[in-house]
Amino acid sequence: MSRRPGIPKSAAPTASTGPEPRPDQRAFDPAIEALILDATGAARVTSVELLQSLWSGYGSIVRVALDGAAFPSVIAKRVRWPTEARHPRGWATSRSHARKVRSYAVETRFYRDYAATCDAGCRVPRLLADARESDGVLLVLEDLDESGFHGRRVEVTFDEVKACLSWLACFHATFVGRRPDGLWETGTYWHLETRPDELAALGDTPLARAASALDRRLRESPFQTLVHGDAKLANFCFSDDGARVAAVDFQYVGGGPGIRDVAYFLGSCLDEEACARQQDALLDHYFDALAEALRLRSVRLDVAALTRDWRDLYPVAWTDFYRFLAGWSPKHWKIHAYTRRLARAVLGPNGNRHHDV
């Protein structure tokens, strides 16, 4: 079972065998160093290693090695508003910038006020410190590599996919029925309200005509929870044996039915053939894990009704993401026969079944 080749955004480079690197002062200044030392009780910073640049030039994520702290390193996510916005697909607009600024405020709020609710079943990094700057945001987070989640995947086994679905099930069970105060009212980065430009790019097509009905059907599900909002393979960190995962990148966490995360995640790590072949088994695993997670958390609701509702919404959630993707990047690899087959089931063979999606 594999996904399209590529390097996960959270993948770390291999350790250097050369001289110990010095902190990169362009991404790391004395004020940040002082904040980290104060938050961790470390005596000094010994090195700073660039892990990745953030999407569209909005800063960087670095690993900060420490001396004298209770742990050897932390992760610093330094977000800086770019002086000149850029986007690899040409979507650098004022609306896009405003969405990104809001997303980092949401991520900070999640780590401050929600992350502590997540248990071992939906492991997330611990927030150690945060700061709002005039030109951005700083988050200092637990280094998941040092906590046993070293693994990053570009290909996944069936059991590793199940591990991620189990994480999602626990996350959704943890927050079912909770209002997304301070988060996105509607989670996910592609939901209709924030993507009018991509909708306009579709023109007068069945997907465009169905967009409002798809969005309404998802928002009107009687079973709402918090969704991760960007639950792709690259945002999961694996234990050495692949049996457990932790998740990162909570910029688009907010309200919604949990099946939105499930559909998006499966599309991020399975190719067309695997989607069709493994769909039923993987959905069965997710709903079994969800029922167990709800039981363990003593959540009182009609699990059978929730399962029926979210199963019915699976092709709707997939088609809703297809609606975004077709406007944003119409030649994207995720637009394949399986995607179109689910869309036909939702929209009808002629694409005219959109008033009652």
- Whether 37 and 171 map to the same domain: the answer is no
Q: Note if the pTM is more than 0.85.
A: yes
* Among candidate residues 147, 182, 215, the one where a domain is terminated: 147
Average pLDDT over residues 113-135: 95
Provide the CA 3 distance to its chain's centre, in angstroms: 17
Are 262 and 308 contained in the same domain?
A: yes
Q: Are residues 218 and 123 in the same domain?
A: no
Answer whether residue 5 is part of any domain: no
Q: Is residue 4 part of a domain?
A: no
Please determine, for residue 15, whether its predicted confidence score (pLDDT) is greater than 70: no
194, 309: one domain = yes
**What's the average model confidence in pLDDT over 122-132?**
96
- Counting the structural domains of the chain, the total is 2
Average pLDDT, the chain: 89
In order of 51, 93, 118, the CA distances from 14 in angstroms are 10, 35, 30
Tell me the CATH number at 43.
3.30.200.20
Whether 65 is in a domain gets the answer yes
Does the pLDDT value for residue 277 go beyond 70? yes
Cα 315 to Cα 339: distance, rounded to the nearest angstrom: 9
Judgement on whether residues 138 and 162 belong to the same structural domain of the protein: no
Using pLDDT thresholds of 50, 70 and 90, give the confidence band for residue 355. low
**How many Å apart are CA 324 and CA 210, to the nearest integer?**
12
87 part of a folded domain: yes
Whether residues 167 and 204 fall in one domain:
yes
Please check whether residues 81 and 109 belong to one and the same domain: yes
Residues 184 and 303 in one domain: yes
Domain boundary among 97, 115, 147: 147
> What is the residue range of 321's domain?
158-347
Judged on CB neighbours under 10 Å (0-12, 13-18, 19+), 47 is: middle
Listed residues 147, 171, 188: the one ending a domain = 147
d(CA 95, CA 54): 18
Q: Are residues 113 and 168 in the same domain?
A: no
pLDDT digits 0-9 by tens, 134-185: 788 999 999 999 999 999 998 999 999 999 999 999 999 999 999 999 999 9
Tens digits of residue pLDDT in 185-220 = 999 999 999 999 999 999 999 999 999 999 999 999
pLDDT value of position 133: 79
Predicted pLDDT at 31: 87
Residues 92, 226: one domain?
A: no
